[in-house]
Amino acid sequence: AQSVTQPDIHITVSEGASLELRCNYSYGATPYLFWYVQSPGQGLQLLLKYFSGDTLVQGIKGFEAEFKRSQSSFNLRKPSVHWSDAAEYFCAVGARTNAGKSTFGDGTTLTVKP
Partner 1 sequence: KAGVTQTPRYLIKTRGQQVTLSCSPISGHRSVSWYQQTPGQGLQFLFEYFSETQRNKGNFPGRFSGRQFSNSRSEMNVSTLELGDSALYLCASSLVLGGAGMDEQFFGPGTRLTVL
Q: Could you list the residues that contact partner 1 (CB under 8 A)? A: 32, 34, 36, 41-46, 49, 90, 92, 94-107
Smallest gap from residue 27 Cβ to partner 1 (A)? 12
Which residues are CB-contacts of 114 (< 8 A; sequence separation ≥ 6)? 14, 15, 83
Closest approach of Cβ 16 to partner 1, in Å? Answer: 30
Q: Which residues, in sequence order, are CB contacts of 45 under 8 Å at separation 6+? A: 36, 37, 38
| Cα separation, 58 vs 48, whole angstroms | 7
Minimal distance, residue 114 CB to partner 1, in Å: 27
Helix (H, G, I), strand (E, B) or coil at 60: helix
Nearer to partner 1, 24 or 103 (CB): 103
Nearer to partner 1, 5 or 73 (CB): 5
Q: For partner 1, give the closer residue by CB, 78 or 103.
A: 103
